[in-house]
Amino acid sequence: MNSKHGLNGSTWRRWDLHIHAPGTKLSNGYGEPNDENLKSFVNELENSKVQAFGITDYFSFDGYHTVVSAYKKHFPSGEKLFIPNIEFRLTETQQFPASKSYEQYQSLINEMALSFS
C-alpha cells in the first residue's frame, strides 16, 4: 500500500456500476461520442462524488474505451476508477462485424484485467 492512501482501514466510497455514455448502442441518451459531448460527460463524472463508474455499453467495450480516453485527455491526473460493463438484451440483437475472433476478445479481456492490477 502506498503512503498516499495510508493505513486507514476501510474507506467507504460511492460507486455507480451502470452508466451509459455518449454513443451507447441501442439506448443513446447522451448523443454522439464527439469531443463536445465527451468533454461534458467526463466533466460531470469528475465533479461527481462518485469515485468508480461502470461504463455500460451493449455487446461491446466501445463506450468504456471512449470514456477512458476522453477522461485521460481532459483529466490526466484524475483519480476516478472506470470498469468496463457489458449489457446483453435477450429480446434485441446488435449486428457487429465478425472481425474479431474469440482469441482477440480473450486477449482484450486479459489486457483489461491486467490494467486493474
pLDDT in tens, 83-100: 999 887 666 555 555 555
Q: In this predicted structure, what is the pLDDT of residue 10?
A: 80
Measured distance CA(31)–CA(37) in Å, rounded: 7
Q: In this predicted structure, what is the pLDDT of residue 59?
A: 80
Neighbours of 27 (CB within 10 A): 13
**HSE-CB for 116 with a 13 A CA cutoff:** 9
Q: What's the chain's average pLDDT?
A: 82
Q: In this predicted structure, what is the pLDDT of residue 60?
A: 82
| Lookup: cell for 28 | 443513446
Tell me the chain's radius of gyration from C-alpha atoms. 16
Average pLDDT over residues 41-53: 97
Domain residue ranges in the chain: 14-115
Q: In this predicted structure, what is the pLDDT of residue 70?
A: 97
Residue 58 host element (H or E): strand 50-58
Measured distance CA(90)–CA(113) in Å, rounded: 26
- pTM score above 0.85: no
